[in-house]
Amino acid sequence: MSGSKIVPFVLAVFIALLVGSCSEETVSGGGTLLVPDGSLGTLPQQLVLNQPLEAAALASEPLNRGAQGRIYVGNRDKFRIHCLLSFLVPLPSNAQVVSATLRLFIVSYENYNPGVPLDINVYQLDRDFEELEVTWNQSADGQPWATPGGDYSPGALLGSSRFAGTELVSALVDTMVIRLDSLALDEFVQSGQTVLPLALVPADQDAWFSMIGRELNPDSPVASQIDIVYRISGSTTNAALERRAKGDATITSFTGSLNPDMLTVGEEPSSQVFLKYDLSQLPADATINKAHLHISVYEAAYVDTFQVIVFATDGKEFVEQELTAVSASQGVGFDTDSLALDVTLGVQRVLVLDSTGTDYYLVLGSNTGVNVGGFMQFYPPDWPEERYRPVLELIYTDAPADAKP
């Protein structure tokens, strides 16, 4: 053995002898520990809960979608999608509108009938909407539309345009320009109004596109805007007014049907699933290392994407988006047949609630900040075929024996 190899070898032997002389060796679970038994926690263990104490789906009015970075318009399968825009147009009542155009910045497009374009019609809404509250059925909280989808006169068309989607093949963003009825806008200005709310309504083609919302790039002019050329009465000089949308929102309606035997998590139709589990089988001082809820997906449908998110709550009431989620969102595809949702933080949270004697629930909901419209249905706990039932799998570690009272 060369001199260069002798030194490391001798050093290793010395360290091994030193450790062995100053520790009490205890074998536990096939490993060697340098502390007495009972001073450490147990090895991680698994607990599988096949049946919740309670499983229920609660429906509600759709949650708002006004704060998303993208806005949408069109049709997809059983979903009908309108886009609402609102502009502040502070023109004097003696201004005369010469021309007006609406500019939309399109970033994605899908058409399920190749070669068939999407026609978009623009109408003036009878009243403005609240961006953070508007849905298909109401313009604001407690203020329903007279006609779901927005109150406007179908006979008073402000403008229309056709989009084929071919422009997006070579460009990341395409601009759609819709020429608006200058006479109708002239009447609007002369009435003294300054807020112009619009509805973008698709024709019946099975296609949709998404646009840059005003929140996506707040420092950029690239967002829906209206351009108005006008002149003051008595003047021969034209002036231009360019206004970025002050509000935009997507509202969606689902016209299909759901399987009533399944549990539904949805944005539109809006639904959340509440699951209550008996965690009394866990040791009193156990810590949750990992928890997964395994579910079998029956069906999923959506506009652009659908993401599931998990909450933990101490009551069976529909959870508003303001409540902090206890999981990262997880996407569902059209061909997804199963999901393993990470509910670790949720189970940790409900253990705390359970210790207070309060009813607790794991809540599966829609990631409202992302989803435009869509749902996921999964098999319930009482489904005849056991392999389709949801299963809660826990990995936990008990407290060390010496630490227990």
For the stretch 218-235, pLDDT in tens is 777 778 999 999 999 888
Question: At which of 206, 227, 254 does a domain end?
Answer: 254
What's the pLDDT score for residue 25? 37
Express as a percent the part of the chain with pLDDT over 90: 57
Please tell me the pTM assigned to this model: 0.81
pLDDT category, 246, cuts 50, 70, 90? very high
Asked if 314 and 276 sit in the same domain, the reply is yes
- Structural domain for 332, as ranges: 45-50+257-403
Residue 385 confidence (pLDDT) above 90: yes
Please report whether residue 23 resides in a domain.
no
Q: Which secondary structure element, helix H or strand E, spans residue 156, and what is its range?
A: none
CATH number assigned to the domain comprising residue 316: 2.60.120
Question: CA torsion, points 143, 149, 151, 154, in degrees to nearest 10?
Answer: -170
In 9-89, the DSSP E strands lie at: 26-28, 31-33, 45-49, 54-59, 70-76, 79-88
Residue 52 confidence (pLDDT) above 90: yes
- State how far Cα 43 lies from the chain centre: 38
Residue 136 confidence (pLDDT) above 50: yes
Please report whether residue 361 resides in a domain.
yes
Please report whether residue 56 resides in a domain.
no
Please report whether residue 10 resides in a domain.
no
Asked if 157 and 79 sit in the same domain, the reply is yes
Asked if 142 and 273 sit in the same domain, the reply is no
Residue 361 confidence (pLDDT) above 80: yes
Question: At which of 254, 280, 306 does a domain end?
Answer: 254
* Number of Cβ within a 10 Å radius of residue 362: 25
In whole angstroms, what is the distance from residue 379 CA to residue 1 CA? 67
Per the document, the length of the chain is 405
Asked if 195 and 269 sit in the same domain, the reply is no
Q: How many domains does the chain have?
A: 2
Asked if 212 and 272 sit in the same domain, the reply is no
For the stretch 93-112, pLDDT in tens is 999 999 999 999 998 888 87
Please report whether residue 110 resides in a domain.
yes
Asked if 93 and 215 sit in the same domain, the reply is yes
What's the pLDDT score for residue 41? 56
What's the pLDDT score for residue 6? 45
In whole angstroms, what is the distance from residue 179 CA to residue 55 CA? 52
Asked if 220 and 288 sit in the same domain, the reply is no
DSSP state of 357: T
Asked if 307 and 385 sit in the same domain, the reply is yes
What's the pLDDT score for residue 33? 42
